[in-house]
A and B are shown apart, each in its own frame.
Chain A
Amino acid sequence: EVQVVESGGRLVQPGGSLRLSCATSGLTVSTNHMSWVRQVPGKGLEWVSLIYSGGATSQADYVKGRFTISRHTSNNTVDLQMHSLRPEDTAVYYCAAVAAAAGVRFIFDPWGPGTLVTVSS
């Protein structure tokens, strides 16, 4: 069974940095695409960033230059390094494995339980 679990969320001041981590089991990050999706409390889902199995990355415009996704094949984890955090980055951050099936790419399954990042002074 594939499982992902996030960690690292906490209260951080505006302008600060934070590193989130996603631990995986049942999959290998060197052969699976992985992604981060966030959700402002009470609001909808917003894609943040994706790392391909080959290591290339893609991210939403609103985090370019501030957030970096990376993976560690030695321990099968995926990180999201966040800099220059803003109050509007306050959200639950979900890690998700990215699947492809029936000719469709970029299907998020499964998702982790999420980790809350609060950006506030």
Chain B
Amino acid sequence: DIQMTQSPSSLSASIGDRVAIACRASQTIGNSLNWYQQKPGKAPKLLIYGASKLQSGVPSRFSGGGSGTDFTLSISSLEPEDFATYYCQQSYNFPLTFGGGTKVEIK
């Protein structure tokens, strides 16, 4: 199975800060990496697919990068609605696996 490791597991940031979340795969997955945002009590929402493609309707302050085993989700300037938990997911092969999540909290 491909293990997905996210770091950090949590971070505190202020409105307007730039943040970056890392996701590492235990083996190469090309660009088969997707990012989701989840708010408390809600379902996850797709943000980025194919490592760097912004899902329709997602603000441009979100961006993704990387390939192979190392990936990054960046938020250029945090807005109040961005405080949530973020998950990466590999769609390279089965079983499909997720990272453990990164909780972004208000400082």
Instruction: Indicate if the CB atoms of B43 and A114 lie closer than 8 Å.
Output: yes
A102 touches which of B38, B50, B95 (Cβ 8 Å): B50
User: A-side binding surface: helix, strand, loop or mixed?
Assistant: strand
Q: Does B72 contact A (CB under 8 A)?
A: no
Whether the pair A101, B50 counts as a contact (CB closer than 8 A) is yes
Q: A47-B96, A47-B98 are in contact. Are A104 and B46 (CB under 8 A)?
A: no
Query: B interface, how many residues as a size bin?
Result: 20 to 34
Q: Which residue on chain A has the smallest CB distance to residue B29?
A: A104
Contact of A44 among B53, B91, B96, B98 (CB under 8 A): B98
Bound Cα distance from A112 to B44, whole angstroms:
9
Chain A interface, number of residues (Cβ within 8 angstroms)? 25
Min CB–CB distance A27 → chain B (angstroms): 15
Which residues of A are in contact with B by a Cβ distance under 8 Å? 35, 44-47, 50, 58, 60-61, 94, 99, 101-114
| CB pairs A–B below 8 angstroms (8 shown) | A44-B98, A45-B44, A45-B98, A47-B95, A94-B43, A102-B31, A105-B32, A113-B43
